[in-house]
Amino acid sequence: MNLLSLLSVFVFLLYLQLGVLVLLKNYSSRINQIFFGLTLCFAIWAFSYIFVYSADTAYEAAFWDTIASLGYALFPAPMVLFYLKICNCWRDYFTNKIIFGLLLFVGLILVYSNFTNLWSADEIVRGKRYWHFRHTAGNFFYFLFYLYLTVAAFLTFYVLVRWRIRITEPYDKKQFNLLFYPLLVFLVFGVTFDIILPNILIGEVPNLGHFSSLPWIAGIAFTIHRFHFLGNQNHLMSEHIIREIREIVIFTDTDYRIIRTNKFTQNLLSSKNHKLTGKNMFMFTNNSTILKGYLLKTQEKHQIGPIGITLLNTSGDAIESSLNFLAIKDRFDDLKGYIIYGHDNREALNLQKEVFIRQHAEKNLRAISEVLETRVKERTEELAESYKELQVKMTERMRVEEQIKTDIAEKEVLINEIHNRVKNNMNIIISLINAQNKKNTSKAASQKFKELAQRVKSLLLVHQNLYLSINYSDVDFGTFIRTLANELFLLHKRNENVELRLDVSDVFLDVDYAIPMGIIVNELISNALQHGFSNYYLKKYADRKNILHISYSYDKGYYEIDISDNGKGLPKDFDISSLLTNGLPLVEILVNDQINGKIDVFSSDEGSMFKITFLATK
């Protein structure tokens, strides 16, 4: 490895370090990104020439020179874009993009032609120490390459010269010198050592273009990283303020054509800067005469405003704005253009409307409040009067309630007394019947006395259930049936021989129906136990299961009581009306006359059933 190869290694590492150093300073900066791309091109160029200088064969030198074309054929595109950004020559982003795209396209064509041998050296000559690449002068790509470099150099110097004409401050001039002279040295040195001398002294002078750009790249990197020259310019700070401020900012020339706007204005007018540039300011207002009058007036007074102006965006939507007008003049007092600045007044107008609406609403609320206060006062007086009346009524009601409680207590005492007297009288009647029964010696008469006493007991049981009910007009007839059936089973001693099955609902029955129904149920149960399950029948059919079934239900105003047994049944010629006994004929009389009901009698060898149906109010 020779000396130039070692120097190329150093330069390659230096290019990479400078590019990474600037990029890491602020990797989101567009300028830093472009500078990194520029240094990457020179790094590829330097890296490839490490092997070009030390190549042993022409083929090896040609191969690495082809790799180097990725650097020397592509660097002009980022170089021009870098200076366009730094000098801010064309503020139109679209124009910068087109220039960069065209240059990059030509550079890629040259790289492609080099890799496909369309643009390759006609002869590779070995000098005393280094290789030299000789090209035919008539080669198209050779001509395109030099035209490409010439155009890139011209654009770069054109941008720098335009910027130099605009600047006046020493600080800006210092930055111009920093950007212009190192670049000039690079181009002169590169043309001299890569084009002129190698063609004059063939084989004596190697290609040294990647060395000549080092002072230029290093100087820019040093100033960006250490002194921040390219980041703290006064005009850049003002540019940043203009670009980011959330106010309307419009620059026009003397013919009222828009030169520049900021982001806020572009969003407000629903358009991009490159579309607004060159358009007449009067296209964005609904009254160009008034706007022109204010601009002419600005020439005399230098600055006027704020003034309410209605702007129109590209969609035709009205934008109420408050604008100031400033005339730009040079030191000879010649008019150079106008600055129109201000703010979107729609929010303020909306706020004023909202304030007006709120004030109007508050006024209405105050009026409503006064009316409500009057009504509340009137209503309060009415309520106070009503409260007094209510107190009188409540006092009277409490007095009535106390009287009712007293009356109820008296009635309860009276009912209790009546119940005790009725109970005592019925017990006396039962006692008299039992006493008479003891004096009697006839068995048949004794049975009649017992039946009579049981009938009185059933009446007493109805009275007892009536006394225990919630009110004194209805009887819990289901409970009555259960109690009566159990007492009759004890009286006739059938608990061990006959099974009692009850299917009675807890339906209350009016006392006018309960008294006759109590006697009826008593007679029918007694008749079943005494005759259906007589002592003779129970002895004869001792192994048979004897059942007495009683059901009581209510449905749609109709009451139904069924009393059935599986005893010996009724005679075939049974007729309840022709019986000489008192029991069943009494049942028929009570059903027909007292409850206005219907009695159905069913009999067979398997027993008998009495079904009573009547209509009554619960």
Same domain, 211 and 279: no
Residues near 281 by beta carbon (within 8 Å), at least 6 away in sequence: 250, 252, 256, 257, 258, 291, 340
Co-location of 231 and 249 in the same domain: no
pLDDT (average), residues 142-166 = 87
Instruction: Give the pLDDT confidence score for residue 171 in this predicted structure.
Output: 67
Cα–Cα–Cα angle for 600, 603, 609, rounded to 5 degrees: 55
Match 């190869």 to its residue by tokens.
5
**Mean pLDDT computed over 467-484:** 74
Q: Looking at residues 110-118, what average pLDDT do you find?
A: 88
Number of domains in the chain: 3
The whole-angstrom separation of Cα 343 and Cα 247 is 5
| Residue 357 falls inside a structural domain | no
Taking the CA atoms of residue 474, residue 479, residue 480 and residue 482 in that order, the dihedral angle to the nearest 10 degrees is 160
What would the mean pLDDT of 435-440 be, rounded to a whole number? 72
pLDDT at 183: 83
pLDDT of residue 107: 92
The larger pLDDT score, comparing residue 529 to residue 121, is at 529
Q: Is the pLDDT of residue 562 over 90?
A: yes
> How far apart are the C-alpha atoms of 446 and 595, rounded to whole Å?
30
pTM across the whole model: 0.44
Q: Are 156 and 183 in contact (CB under 8 A)?
A: yes
Share of the chain above pLDDT 90, in %: 11
606 in a domain, yes or no?
yes
- Give the distance between the most distant pair of CA atoms in the chain: 176
Domain of 142 in residue numbering reads as 3-235
Residue 323 predicted with pLDDT over 80: yes
Both 217 and 140 in one domain: the answer is yes
Please name every residue paired with 285 in a beta bridge, in sequence order, or none if there are none: 311
Q: Which of 509, 616, 501, 504 is nearest to 561 (CA)?
A: 504
pLDDT at residue number 345: 77
Q: What's the token pair of residue 566? A: 């599986």
pLDDT(42) > 80: yes
**Would you tell me how many other CB atoms lie within 10 Å of the CB of residue 449?**
19
Task: Tell me whether residue 77 is in a domain.
Answer: yes
Q: How far apart are CA 142 and CA 109, in angstroms?
A: 12
Confidence of residue 563 (pLDDT cuts 50, 70, 90): very high
**Is it the case that residue 40 has pLDDT exceeding 90?**
yes
pLDDT, greater one: 583 or 98: 98
Contact 272, 279 (CB under 8 A): no
pLDDT at 317 over 90: no
- pLDDT for residue 332: 57
| 200, 235, 270 - which closes a domain | 235
pLDDT-based confidence at 612, cuts 50/70/90?
A: very high
Highest mean pLDDT: which range of 242-256, 424-438, 470-484:
242-256
Angle 70-72-76 from CA coordinates, rounded to 5°: 105
pLDDT tens profile 532-548: 888 888 888 888 889 99
Residue where one domain finishes, among candidates 235, 255, 274: 235
Distance CA 307, CA 291 (A): 10
Same domain, 188 and 215: yes
CATH number reported for the structural domain that contains residue 507 in this entry = 3.30.565.10
Backbone angles phi, psi at 571, to 5 degrees: -60, 155
- pLDDT, tens digit (0-9, with 9 covering 90-100), for 147-158: 998 999 999 988
Between 448 and 55, the more confident residue is 55
Tokens of 4: 């130039």
Cis preceding-peptide flag for 306 (omega within 30 of 0)? yes
pLDDT of residue 142: 81
The verdict on residue 366 lying in a domain is: no
Q: Are 455 and 307 in a shared domain?
A: no
Q: What is the pLDDT of residue 77?
A: 92
What is the spatial distance between Cα 491 and Cα 451, in angstroms, rounded to a whole number?
A: 10
Question: What is the 8-class DSSP label of residue 609?
Answer: E
Q: Which amino acid is at 604?
A: S
More confident residue, 327 or 408: 327
Predicted pLDDT at 294: 86
Asked whether residue 260 is assigned to any structural domain, the reply reads yes
**Distance between first and last Cα of the chain:** 127
Average pLDDT of the chain to the nearest whole number: 81
At 174-216, the pLDDT tens digits run: 778 877 888 888 888 877 777 777 666 555 667 777 788 888 8
pLDDT at 226 over 50: yes
The answer to whether 133 touches 121, Cβ cutoff 8 Å, is yes
- Quote the pLDDT of residue 43: 93
pLDDT in tens, 493-534: 888 888 999 999 888 888 788 888 888 888 888 888 888 888
**Dihedral (Cα; 381, 382, 383, 389), 10-degree rounding:** 110
Summarised one tens digit per residue, pLDDT across range 352-383 is 888 888 888 888 888 898 898 888 998 888 88
Are the CB atoms for 499 and 559 separated by under 8 Å?
no
Say how far apart CA 538 and CA 528 lie, in whole Å.
Answer: 13
| 249 pLDDT more than 80 | yes
Q: Are residues 276 and 308 both part of a single domain?
A: yes
pLDDT value of position 418: 64
**Rounded to whole angstroms, how far apart are CA atoms 23 and 33?**
6
Q: What is the pLDDT of residues 438-469, one digit of tens each?
A: 776 677 677 677 667 776 777 666 666 655 65
3 state DSSP class of 404 = helix
Residue located via tokens 């013919």: 255
Residue ending a domain, among 177, 202, 235, is 235
The verdict on residue 350 lying in a domain is: no
Q: With 60 as the cut, is the pLDDT of residue 580 above it?
A: no
The H or E element containing residue 338 is strand 335-344
Q: How far is CA 58 from CA 63, 76, 212, in A?
A: 9, 28, 25
Residue 118 CA to residue 44 CA, distance in Å, equals 21
Q: Measuring CA to CA, which residue among 597, 585, 463, 600 is closest to residue 518? A: 463
Determine the average pLDDT of the residues in 565-573. 82
75-107 per-position pLDDT tens digit = 999 999 888 887 766 555 677 888 889 999 999
In this structure, the answer to whether residues 274 and 308 fall within a common structural domain is: yes
Task: Name the residue with higher pLDDT: 402 or 605.
Answer: 402
pLDDT of 232 reads: 44
* Domain CATH for 19: 1.20.1070.10
The reported pLDDT for the residue numbered 246 is: 82
Domain co-membership, 228 together with 252:
no
In this structure, are 194 and 302 located in the same domain? no
Give the closest residue to 265 by CA, choosing from 254, 276, 255.
276
Higher pLDDT, 283 or 224: 283
- Tell me, yes or no, whether 484 and 506 share the same domain: yes
Q: Are 164 and 258 part of one and the same domain?
A: no
Q: Are residues 225 and 264 in the same domain?
A: no
